[in-house]
Amino acid sequence: MKMLVTGGAGYIGSVLVPHLLQEGHAVTVLDNFMFGQNSLAECCANGSFEVVRGDCRDKLLVKGLMAKADVIIPLAALVGMPLCKIDPIGAETTNRKAVEMICRLASKNQMILFPTTNSGYGIGEKGKFCTEDTPLRPISHYGKTKVAAERAVLSRGNGVTLRLATVFGMSARMRIDLLVNDFVYRAVHDRAALIFEGHFKRNYIHIRDVARIFAFAIKNFEAMRGKPYNVGLEDANLSKLELCAKIRKLLPKFVYVEAPIGEDPDKRDYVVSNARLSKTGFKTRFTLDQGIRELIKGYSILRDKRHGNG
């Protein structure tokens, strides 16, 4: 099929695009390359790959690219609470308005696969798993823009939204600021971490399983259309302290201490059920331990913190 991936040179796109090409799809990437990355360089040898440098908010540009696509995957976003706080207008126009524009421009036959975030659940109820029917209560500007964009995608009927858990693992456009990636980086290079509000829980998912769920959703679109799906590891609803304990099993010299004062500005705290996705037949392949081992090797290559979203 013919794919248009906006923001395809980002952290997820740099793994997803090669995966889609390997699956036999033709992929066009629209990206502004704001981080100066060359993460898709190897794809240029593939005759089914096209790349356009531009802005996902440019209506004429996007409309022309969409005319050739069977499937649209709007990855382009200012991702994460810190980056959205620095540029709230950019977050609003990129994360929400650009996706709403795609929904207006898309024909009834064009499929939209949209990655949102399970941070939309905000602060969950103690002892209760968040399902796709749980009310969305995002607490960050990032979460609010993504929830609004998800609403637009689902309202058109020919879309699938993927509520991604906190993603981890190596990418050619690396993000060290994501929680697992960050903690492993500290364990490798600092051998220590100060943890704020260590009881806060989140769910996690390997970046290669994220690429796989997009490919799976394309193949199973008719059965999945019109619904949101939580995407995470069933055995990885972990607190920050539990995550640190897992890392220390592989890096015994890692020392972590919970701060007696201070707070994490990111107040997300929830556990998530991925049962709806499991019922479709999708199975994750990559465990948290595998991801940690992969990151340990990766951080022998990466030794500075410029690889992040702020």
pLDDT of residue 305: 66
In the predicted model, what is the mean pLDDT of residues 261-277? 86
pLDDT band for position 310 (50/70/90)?
Answer: low
Neighbours of 253 (CB within 10 A): 9
In the predicted model, what is the mean pLDDT of residues 144-150? 96
Residue 142 has pLDDT above 80, yes or no: yes
- Domain 2-168+204-231: give its CATH code: 3.40.50.720
Lowest pLDDT segment from 1-15, 106-120, 122-136:
122-136
* Residues whose CB falls within 8 Å of the CB of residue 117, separated by 6 or more in sequence, listed in order: 142, 143, 146, 163, 164
pLDDT of residue 82: 87
Fold of 179-203+235-298: UDP-galactose 4-epimerase; domain 1 (3.90.25)
d(CA 237, CA 231): 12
- Domain boundaries in the chain? 2-168+204-231, 179-203+235-298
pTM reported for the whole predicted model = 0.95
Residue 309 has pLDDT above 70, yes or no: no
Lowest pLDDT segment from 75-79, 125-129, 188-192:
125-129
What does the pLDDT look like over 115-134, one tens digit per residue? Answer: 998 888 988 888 799 999 99
d(CA 210, CA 203): 13
